[in-house]
Amino acid sequence: MNQFPFLTLLLFLPLAGAFLLLTMTGREKLARSTALTIAVAETVLACSAWFCQGNSSARGYFLFEDRPWIETLGIRYTVGMDGITLLLVTLTALVTVIAMLVSWRSITERVALHFLLILAMESGIMGVFLSLDLFLFYLFWELMLIPMFFLISIWGHDRNIYSAVKFFLYTLVGSLLMLLAIIGVYLIHGEQSGIYSFGLAALTGTRFSPATGLLLYGAFLLAFAVKFPLVPLHTWLPDAHTDAPTAGSVILAGLLLKTGAYGLIRFGYPLFPEAARTLSPLLIGLAVAGIIYASWIAFAQKDMKRLVAYSSIGHMGFVALGIAVWTPVALSGALLQMVNHGLTTTALFALVGMLDERAHTRQIEDYGGLWGKIPLFSAFFVLFAMASAGLPGLNNFVGEFLILTGSFKSAHLATALAFIGVILPLVYTVRLVQEVIFQEERRPLPMADISSRELFILAFLALADLYIGLHPAPLLEILKAPVALLTGGVP
Amino acid sequence: MTTADLWIALPLILLAVGALLTLLIGAVTRDDTAATAIGVAVTLGAACWLLQTPPLPVAPSLGLSAAGLPRLFSCFFLLLAAGVLCLSSGYNRARGIGGEEYPATVLFATFGMLALASATTLLTLFLGLEAMSFGFYILVAVDLKRATSGETGLKYLLPGALSTAFLAFGIALIYCVSGTLAIHEAVQLTLTSGRPDPIALAGWGCLLAGIAFKLSLAPAHLWTPDVYQGAPAPVVAFLSGGSKGAAILLLLLLLPHAVDASHLRIPLWGVALLSMLVGNLAALLQNRVRRLLAYSSIAQMGYVAVALVSGKGGGYQAAAFYALAYGVISLAAFGAIAVLERQGCGETLDDYRGLGQSKPFASGVLTLALFSLAGIPPTVGFTGKFLIFTSAIRSGEIALAVIGVLLAAISVYYYLKVVITLYSKHTGTADASHPTYPEYSVLILASTAMVLLGLWPDALISLLSHLLP
C-alpha cells in the first residue's frame, strides 16, 4: 500500500473530476451524474482507507507520502493519514455526496459549474485534512475558499454577494496573518537548526521566546477562530449560511467549520505547546461565551437556516472547549463532536433546503402542521432536531458528554457554564419543532412528502447518527492512538 | 567587433532589422498582418537565439552583457512583445488603429528593453531605458481616432520626460562622484559602507525618483490611471508587464552591487508603504476596470518595493520573480480585456456584468489573473507574494510585511468585485463571437504560465538564486 500513491489519488480525484466537468457545460444530466459518480468513487476510496489502519508507521500515520516539491524553499509534498484524518476524510466524502444529492433538482442554472465547484471544494478540504507540510496546508486552506465563494455568490439568495464577500474577507484576513506566522516559524526554525523546512514534523519542537510564540500562535489562532467560528469572529457565518444554496450550507457547516478545529489540533497545539497553554483560558472563555451567546441568539431567529447556523456556532463552541482543555477524553470528544456536528447539521440544512424547495420560504412562522401533511419528513425533522439538541442515544450527546467530562477536571466553572449550553439548544429546538411540525397549519403551502432521493439522504444520515449515538466505541478506538500521541506532552 | 560581440548583439540587431523591415513592408501593402507576422517571428527568433547561446559575461568591445539575469529578462521581454503583437492585430483592426508603424514601434521599444537588460555601463542603461520610453510615448497615443488619446499620450509624455531628466541627472551625479560609468564600480564606489558622499546620495535619490515614475510608485503614480484607461489594451499589457519589468530590472542591475544599500532603505521603505496604501485604497473606489487595475498595479509595485527594501535577504530574488510574474499576469489580464473590448465590451464595471456566461474564455482568464493579482494560491501571484513576505520577514521588515499582508487582504475586495460582476446574472443576449487563434494561444499560454509558475516555481527560484544575491 505504501508504494501506491493512495492519498494522492484521494486528494486529486475530485479535482480531476472537476476538470472533466469543464467539458460538460450545457449537458446537465451528464454533468450531474458524472459528478456524483466521482463523489461516490471518492467515498469508496475514503472508506477503503479504513482497511489500511494496521500498518502504523511514521509518527502514527498509517498512510504517508512524502515527495520533494519546491526544494529551494524546503517545501515538500507531505501528506499523511492517521485516525483523526481518517474520520474527517470519510466525513468529507460522505457530506460531498449528500451536498450533491440535495442540490440534484434545486440547481437549474449552470449545473455543470455548480457540481464542478463542489468537486473542487472537496479536493481543497481533503487537502487541508491530509497535508503535513505547512505550505501545502496553506495552499489548500486558501483553495477551498474560492469554490465556496462562487457557490454563494452565483447560486445564493437574497444578499448573496454581500455574504460571499464577507465570508471571503473574514477568512482571508485571518489566513493571511497565519501565512506570515508560517513564514515566521519557518525562518526561526531555519535559523535554529540550519534546515529550512515547512514540514510539520520538522517544525514541531522549534523553540520560541514566549513573546514570539504568543504572537505566532495568536496569528494561527485567529485564522482558525474565524473558521470555527468563535464569538466575536462569527458574524460571517449566519449570513453565509442563510444566503448560500443548500449544497453550500451543507458543505460550509458540515466540512468547512471543521477545518478550523482541525488546524488547531494538528498545527496550533503541536507547534506552540507553551503558547497554546498560556492562551487556553482565552480559548475556553471564547468557547463558553460562544456556546451561550449563540444559543441565546438562536432563540430570536425567525429564519430556520439562520437558527441552524447559530446552533452551529454553539456546537462548535463545544468543540473549541474540548480542544482548549487538551485532555485525551475532551479531545476525543471534540473530534467526535466534529463528525457529529457534520452529520447532524448537514441533515438539518438538507431538511430546511427541502422545505424551501417546496414552499419557497424559510420563515418559521409560515409553517405549521407538517406532521399531518408530510409525516415521513416530519419524523426525520424531529429526529435530527433532537440529535442536534443532544438527546441521549443520538450522536451529539456522546460528543458533548465526553467534552464536558473531559474538561470538568481542569475547568470547573467553564464546564458548569457550558452545561447551560446543553440545555438551551433543547429549548429552542423544541420550540422549532413545535412551531413547524406540530402547530396548527398557518398557511396553506404546497407540500409533498419526501422523494426516494431525499429519503436516501435522510435515512443514511439518521442511521449514522443512531450508530454513533448508540455505539461510538469503534470511532473512539480509531481516535485513541492519535489523541494519545497529541496529548502526550500535556498533563 | 569580434564574433563574440556579434553573438551577443544578434538579438538587438534582429530586432532593429525586423523593425525596419516592418516599416518597409508598409510601402508594399497596407495590410498589417504581414508586419505583425514579421514582428512575432523576429521576437520569437531572438528569444530562441538567446535560449540556445551559452551565457557570456561581457562582450569585449560593445560593453554588452549576456549574463544570466539579462538573458532571462531579455527572453521575457521578447516573449511578452510577441504576445502583445499577437493580441494587437485583432484589437487594432477593431479599433481602426492601422499601419505597420505599430508593430515597428513595439519592436523598437523591445529593442530598448533588451539594450537596457544587457547594459554594463550607466550610459547604455540610460539609452536603453530612453529608447524603450520613446516607443511607449508613441504607443500609448497610437489610437488616433479616440478623443482622449492625445490627452493620454501627453499625460505619459510629460511625467516621463521629467523622470528622464531626473534619471540623467542622477547618473551624472553618480558619475561625478565615482568617476566611472561602469555599473559595477560606480555602484560600489557610491554606495559604500560608512558615510557616503552627499552628492552620491543626491544622485541615487534622483535615480530612484526617476525609476519611481517608471514603476508608478506613489507619490509618482499620478499618470498611471489615465494612461491605463486611455491606451489600447495590448499596449497597457506591454507597458504594465514590460516597461515596469525593465524598470525593476534596472534596479536589480544596480542595487545588488552596493556594498551597503542601507542608505536607500528609508526612501524605498516610504515609497513601498505609500504605494501599497495609495494603490490598494484608491482601487477600492474605482468603477472602471482599467483604472482599478491601474491602482492595483501601483499597489503591486509597492510590494516589489518591499522586496527591494529587503535586499539581500532574498529580496532581490523576490523582486525579480515578482517582476516576471507581474508581466505574465499583466499580459493575461489586459489580454483578456483586449479580447473583451474587441468584442464590444465597454470600460465600466457594469459593462462586464454577466460576461462570465456570454464570453466564458476571456472572463475565465481575467478571473484567473485577478485571483493571481490578489495573491490567491495556486497562482504565481501567491508564490510571488510569498517570496516577498518571506524576504521581508527574514530582513526584519516585519512592520512592512504585516501592513502589506493586511492591505493585500483589503485588495481582495476590489478584485472580487470584478469577479462577481463577471459572474453575476446575465442580462444581455449571448453573442457568438469567439477569440481569434492568436488571442487564444496567448491567453492560454499566459494562464498556463500563471498556474505552472504558481505550482512549480522551483526552477525559476533556483535560477534566480544563482543570478542574484
DSSP string, B225-244: HHHHHHS-HHHHHHIIIIIH
Give A406 or A441, the one with higher predicted confidence: A406
Residue A168 contacts B where some CB pair is shorter than 8 Å: yes
Question: Cell digits for B256?
Answer: 545588488
Distance CA B277, CA A491 (A): 47
Residue A77 contacts B where some CB pair is shorter than 8 Å: no
Q: Say whether A180 and B401 touch across the interface (CB within 8 A).
A: yes
% of chain B beyond a pLDDT of 70:
97
Distance CA B143, CA B133 (A): 17
Phi/psi of residue B198, each to 5°?
Answer: -60, -35
Q: Are A291 and A317 in contact (CB under 8 A)?
A: yes
Instruction: Count other Cβ atoms within 10 Å, centred on residue A48.
Output: 12
Question: Cell digits for B20?
Answer: 525596419
Residue A490 is predicted with a pLDDT of 43
Q: For the segment B138-155, what is each residue's pLDDT rounded down to a tens digit?
A: 999 988 888 888 889 999
Query: B405 to chain A: which residues are within 8 Å by CB?
Result: 176-177, 179-180
Give the type of residue at A343. L
Q: For the segment A145-178, what is each residue's pLDDT rounded down to a tens digit?
A: 889 999 998 898 878 889 998 998 888 888 899 9
Distance CA A394, CA A250 (A): 20
Helix, strand and coil percent figures for chain A, each rounded to 5: 75, 5, 20
Q: How far is A349 from chain B (nearest CA, A)?
A: 25
Integer angstrom CA distances of residue A46 from A7, A90, A92 = 9, 5, 9
Q: Given A139, A172, A184, which is nearest B378 (Cβ)? A: A139
Q: Residue B247 — very low, low, confident or very high, per pLDDT cuts 50/70/90?
A: very high
Q: Is the pLDDT of residue B61 over 70?
A: no
Residues in chain B: 469
Distance CA A334, CA A482 (A): 13
Distance CA B178, CA B191 (A): 10
User: Best of B310, B405, B463 to disrupt the A interface by mutation (most A CBs within 10 Å)?
Assistant: B405
Residue in the block written with cell 484589437: B91
Residues in chain A: 491
Q: For the segment B376-396, what is each residue's pLDDT rounded down to a tens digit?
A: 888 999 999 999 999 999 999
Residues 6 or more apart whose CB falls under 8 angstroms from that of A212 comprise A184, A188
| Residue A79 DSSP code | E
Integer angstrom CA distances of residue B450 from A50, A98, A106, B363, B376 = 38, 34, 35, 15, 11
Of the candidates A181, A111, A123, the one whose C-alpha atom is nearest the C-alpha of residue A147 is: A123
Distance CA A166, CA B144 (A): 43
Of the candidates B129, B90, B89, the one whose C-alpha atom is nearest the C-alpha of residue B109 is: B129
Residue B458 contacts A where some CB pair is shorter than 8 Å: yes
| Residue B146 DSSP code | S
Integer angstrom CA distances of residue B230 from B143, B226, B287, B382 = 9, 6, 15, 29
% of chain A beyond a pLDDT of 70:
98
| Residue B30 DSSP code | S
Q: Are B125 and B228 in contact (CB under 8 A)?
A: no
Question: Cell digits for A429?
Answer: 429546538
Distance CA A248, CA A148 (A): 7
Instruction: Please tell me the least confidently modeled range out of A115-124, B205-214, B283-292, B431-440.
Output: B431-440
Half-sphere exposure of residue B166: CA atoms within 13 angstroms, side-chain side: 19
Q: Say whether B465 and A72 touch across the interface (CB within 8 A).
A: yes
User: Best of B310, B359, B368, B386 to disrupt the A interface by mutation (most A CBs within 10 Å)?
Assistant: B386
Give the type of residue at A354. M
Distance CA A321, CA A415 (A): 9
ipTM exceeds 0.95, yes or no: no
- Which long-range CB contacts under 8 A does B123-128 form with residues at least 24 apart? B123/B171, B123/B181, B124/B63, B124/B64, B125/B171, B125/B183, B125/B250, B125/B253, B126/B167, B126/B168, B126/B171, B128/B246
Q: Given A72, A164, A169, which is nearest B458 (Cβ)? A: A72
Phi/psi of residue B65, each to 5°?
Answer: -105, 145
Of the candidates A74, A187, A192, the one whose C-alpha atom is nearest the C-alpha of residue B393 is: A187
Q: Say whether B389 and A25 touch across the interface (CB within 8 A).
A: no
Residue in the block written with cell 514590460: B242
Q: Is the pLDDT of residue A455 over 60?
A: yes
Q: How far is B414 from chain A (nearest CA, A)?
A: 10
Q: Given B402, B416, B456, which is nearest A180 (Cβ)? A: B402
Distance CA B469, CA B467 (A): 7
Distance CA A74, CA A5 (A): 21
User: Best of B371, B376, B411, B425 to disrupt the A interface by mutation (most A CBs within 10 Å)?
Assistant: B376
What does the pLDDT average to over A78-99? 92
Q: Residue B56 — very low, low, confident or very high, per pLDDT cuts 50/70/90?
A: low
Q: Are A89 and A49 in contact (CB under 8 A)?
A: yes
Q: Is the pLDDT of residue A489 over 80?
A: no
Q: For the segment B146-193, what is each residue's pLDDT rounded down to a tens digit?
A: 888 888 999 999 999 999 999 999 999 999 999 998 888 898 888 887
Q: Kind of pairing, strands B65-66 and B56-58?
A: antiparallel
Q: Which H or E run includes B57?
A: strand B56-58
Residue B137 contacts A where some CB pair is shorter than 8 Å: no
Q: Is the pLDDT of residue B98 over 80?
A: no
Integer angstrom CA distances of residue A432 from A297, A316, A366, B8, B142 = 14, 20, 12, 79, 68
Of the candidates B287, B374, B345, B347, the one whose C-alpha atom is nearest the C-alpha of residue B356 is: B345
Residue B55 is predicted with a pLDDT of 67
Q: Are B333 and B449 in contact (CB under 8 A)?
A: no
Q: Say whether A176 and B406 touch across the interface (CB within 8 A).
A: yes
Residue A3 is predicted with a pLDDT of 66
Q: Residue A1 — very low, low, confident or very high, per pLDDT cuts 50/70/90?
A: very low
Residue A72 is predicted with a pLDDT of 87
Give the type of residue at A204. T
Distance CA A132, CA A444 (A): 54
Q: Taking all residues of chain B, what is their mean pLDDT, rounded to a whole number? A: 90
Distance CA B333, CA B418 (A): 12
Distance CA A313, CA A417 (A): 16
- For residue B66, the SS3 value is strand
Residues 6 or more apart whose CB falls under 8 angstroms from that of A70 comprise A135, B456, B457, B458, B461
Residue A247 contacts B where some CB pair is shorter than 8 Å: no
Residue B432 is predicted with a pLDDT of 65
R_g over Cα of chain B: 21
Query: B389 to chain A: which residues are within 8 Å by CB?
Result: 179-180, 183
Q: Residue A491 — very low, low, confident or very high, per pLDDT cuts 50/70/90?
A: very low
Residues 6 or more apart whose CB falls under 8 angstroms from that of B260 comprise B191, B192, B193, B194
Integer angstrom CA distances of residue B53 from A260, B48, B68 = 52, 9, 11
* Residues of chain B numbered 406-435 and touching chain A (CB < 8 Å): 406, 408-409, 412-413, 416-417, 420, 423-424
Residue A478 is predicted with a pLDDT of 87
What does the pLDDT average to over A86-112? 90
Of all residues in chain A, the one with the smallest CA distance to B409 is A173
